[in-house]
Chains A and B, each alone.
Chain A
Amino acid sequence: MDTLALEAKANGQEKKSSAPRPRPKPPKKAKRIVYFEVEIVDAKTKEKLLLLDKVEPTSTILDIKALFHKSNPQWYPARQSLRLDPKGKGLKDEDILQTLPVGTTASFYFSDLGAQIAWGTVFLSECYGPLLIYLMFYFRLPFIYAPKYDFSSSKHWVVHLACMCHSFHYVKRILETLFIHRISHGTMPLRNIFKNCSYYWCFAAWMAYYINHPLYTPPYYGQQQVKTALIIFLFCQVGNFSINITLRNLKCPGSKVKKIPHPTKNPFTWIFALVSCPNYTYELGSWMGFTVMTQCLPVAFFTIVGFVLMTVWARGKHRNYRKEFRDYPTLRSPILPFIL
C-alpha cells in the first residue's frame, strides 16, 4: 500500500511536473516609450497656456486639442489652431506627434479661430433660404406687391419656368450638400453663416421680386430666347452635377489623400482637360442661362458678382493644385478655358 501510495504520489507529482506548468514568462524587457512633453503657448501674447507631460508619441494633434479642451473648456477642438511657428500654417488634426519636426518637448502656438459652425449647417441654410424666398415671391404673398395682386399667378409661362429652374437648382444643391459633397474642413467661422446667408438671401429676394412682378416684361426674342436659355441652363446643371459626383468619387470616405481630377467616361467631365474647377464653370453657365431666360438685370448682377467670387475661389484652388502636384497638367486654367 505504501508503495502504491508512493507511486500514486510520484505519479501525481509526475503529472504535476509533466502537465505544462505555466512557466512564469521572463520579465519582458520594457519597450522604451519616449513620452513627449507638450507645451501650448499663446501665439500672440506668448503666454504659456498649458503644459502636458507624458503624451504618447503616437497621439495626433486632435488628441492634444482634446486635452487642451479639457483644461480650457471654452476652446473646443474645432476652434483651436495649433502651429509650430507663430506665423506658420495650422497643423492638421491627423498629424502624428512623433512625425513632426519637434524634439521630445514640443511647443505649439495656439490661436483661437473664433466660434465655429459646421459647414453643413451653413450650406443648408444658405440654400433653403433662396428656395423659400423665391417661392414666397412666386406665390405673391401679401405685402410684397400691391394688394390686388395677392396670391395671383403670372400670365407669362416663362415666369413659371423660371420658378421651376430656380427651385430645381437649389433643391439639387441641397441634395448635393446632404449626400455628395465631401469637405475637408469640418467647420468654418461663425460669421460665415451671416455673410453667406445675407448674400444668397438678399440676392434671391431681389431677383425674385422682379421676375414675379405683375409688370414683368418677358424676353425680347420670345420663345426662341427662352428655349435656348433653358437648354443652356439644364446642360450646365447636369454638368455641375457630374463634376460633383466625379469629385466625390476621387476620395474614398475618410481618406485625406488628395488626387488630381481627370476626365472620365461622362462627356460632361471632359472639360477637366481644360479647367481646374469646372463645377464653377458650369455654375456660371447655369446662371448665364437663367439671366438670358428671364432677361432681368438683377439676375445679371447676381451672375457677375457670383462670377467674380467663383473666379477668386477657382484661382485659389488652381494654385493649391499646382503647389501640391508637380505633374499638374499645364493646359488647365482655373475657371474659363484658356482665358481665366
Chain B
Amino acid sequence: MSAPAMGTTKTAHSDVAPKKKRGPGALATAYLVIYNVVMTAGWLVIAVGLVRAYLARGSYHGLYYTIEKPLKFFQTGALLEILHCAVGIVPSSVVLTGFQVLSRVFLTWAVTHSVREVQNEDSVLLFVSAWTITEIIRYSFYTFSLLNHLPYLIKWARYTFFLVLYPMGVTGELLTVYAALPYVQKTGLYSVTLPNKYNFSFDYHTFLILTMVSYIPCKSLSYPPQYTTDVQYYCSWVVPRIKYILRPFDILSNCSPILHFKSLLY
C-alpha cells in the first residue's frame, strides 16, 4: 500500500545507520514531483466527487459510478511506480511495490469492473474511500518530501490514519471479492475448462478464494514500512530475551537423535 518515503526516515528507534543512498537527479526529482502532484490531484478529484455525490443523493449507495472513471485512471496510473523502482529513481523494492500496486489494480479491474453486480455493494465504497484518503496523504507526503519541506501534520497523518485505513481497505477488498464469488461461479467468468487443445484449466472462482486466503499473510507482511522499524525494534528487544529463556533447551540439541539428524544436514 505504500513505498517508503523519499528522503531519510530516521526514527528514534533505528540503531543501524541508514545506508547512504544516491538520491535521484534533478530531472528525476522534477518528474517525480509532477507525478506525485498529479496523483494527489487525481485522488482529490475522486474524494470531492464522492462527497458531492453523497451530498446530492443523500445516501451511500451507488457512489461507485460517479467516480468510476477517475478511479480506474489514477489507480492504473500507479503502475508507473513499479517502473520508478525498476529504474531506480525511487529507493524501493520492485517486488514489494509491484505486489502492492498489482493487488490494487487487480481489485479495480478484475473484480470491481469485471463483475458488474458487485458495483452496488457498500464494501466497494469502503475500500474506495480508504484508498482515497490513504493515497491523498501518501502522494502529498512524497511531494513534500521531494521538496524537502515535509510538514509534520502530513507525517503524523500518514502514521496515524494508516492504523484505521489499512484494515478498513483490506476489509472492503475482502468483502467485495466475497460478494463477487457467486456471480463468478454462475457465469464461469475468466475460467477455462477441460477438455481443450492446450490441456489447461483455470477456475477463477477458486482463484478468488485463494486470493482471499492469501490476504491474511500477504497483507500483514506488507504492512507499511514506517512500522517495520517498530517491528525491527521490537524484534531486537524481544528475540534476545526469548533466546535467553530458551537457552536451557540448547543442551537438547546435542543429544544423539538430534545429532544424527544434524549429520544428515552437513
Contact = CB atoms under 8 A, between A and B. Distances in A.
B194 A187 contact: no
Interface in B211-266: 250, 253-254, 264-266
Given A73-B254, A210-B201, A116 B196 contact: no
B195 interface: yes
Contacts of B266: 76, 78-79, 116-118, 186-187
A217 B195 contact: yes
A209 to B, nearest CB: 9
Contacts of A186: 266
A115 B265 CA distance: 8
Nearest to A294: B199
B198 A297 contact: yes
B18 to A, nearest CB: 16
Contact residue range for chain A?
20 to 34
Interface string B188-214: 000000111111110000000000000
Interface string A295-321: 111100000000000000000000000
Interface in A175-189: 186-187
A296 B265 contact: no
Given A73-B254, A213-B194, A215-B194, A295 B265 contact: no
A121 interface: yes
Contact residue range for chain B?
10 to 19
A184 B194 CA distance: 46
B194 A296 contact: no
Given A78-B266, A118-B265, A121-B265, A213 B254 contact: no
A296 B200 contact: yes
B199 A295 contact: yes
B96 to A, nearest CB: 19
A121 B197 contact: no
B199 A210 contact: yes
Contact of B200 (A74, A116, A117, A298): A298
Contacts of B196: 217
Nearest to B265: A117
A211 B197 CA distance: 12
Contacts of A123: none
A199 interface: no
Contacts of B201: 210
A190 B265 CA distance: 8
Contacts of A215: 194-195
Nearest to B16: A44
A196 B171 CA distance: 34
Nearest to B263: A118
A217 B199 contact: yes
A190 B195 CA distance: 41
Interface in A182-231: 186-187, 190, 210-211, 213, 215-217, 220
A297 B196 CA distance: 11
Given A78-B266, A116-B265, A121-B264, A296 B254 contact: no
A118 to B, nearest CB: 6
A211 B195 CA distance: 11
B200 A295 contact: no
A74 B243 CA distance: 13
A296 B195 contact: no
Contacts of A115: 265
Contacts of A79: 266
A186 to B, nearest CB: 8
Given A73-B254, A117-B265, A187-B266, A296 B199 contact: yes
A187 B196 CA distance: 44
A300 to B, nearest CB: 8
A264 to B, nearest CB: 35
Contacts of B253: 74
A73 B258 CA distance: 14
Contacts of A117: 265-266
Contacts of B197: 217, 220, 295
B151 to A, nearest CB: 37
Contacts of A296: 198-200
B95 to A, nearest CB: 15
Contacts of A213: 194, 199
A54 to B, nearest CB: 28
B41 to A, nearest CB: 39
Interface in A269-292: none
Interface string A91-135: 000000000000000000000000111100100000000000000
A19 to B, nearest CB: 58
Contacts of B254: 73
A210 B196 CA distance: 11
Given A215-B194, A217-B196, 14 more contacts: A73-B254, A76-B266, A78-B266, A118-B266, A121-B264, A210-B194, A210-B200, A211-B199, A215-B195, A216-B195, A216-B199, A217-B197, A297-B200, A298-B199
Query: Sorted from nearest, which 8 A-B pairs have the closest CB atoms?
Result: A297-B200, A215-B195, A215-B194, A296-B199, A297-B198, A78-B266, A210-B199, A117-B265
29 contacts: A74-B250, A74-B253, A76-B266, A78-B266, A116-B265, A117-B266, A118-B264, A121-B264, A186-B266, A187-B266, A190-B265, A210-B194, A210-B199, A211-B199, A213-B194, A215-B194, A215-B195, A216-B194, A216-B195, A217-B197, A217-B199, A295-B197, A295-B199, A296-B198, A296-B200, A297-B198, A297-B199, A297-B200, A298-B199
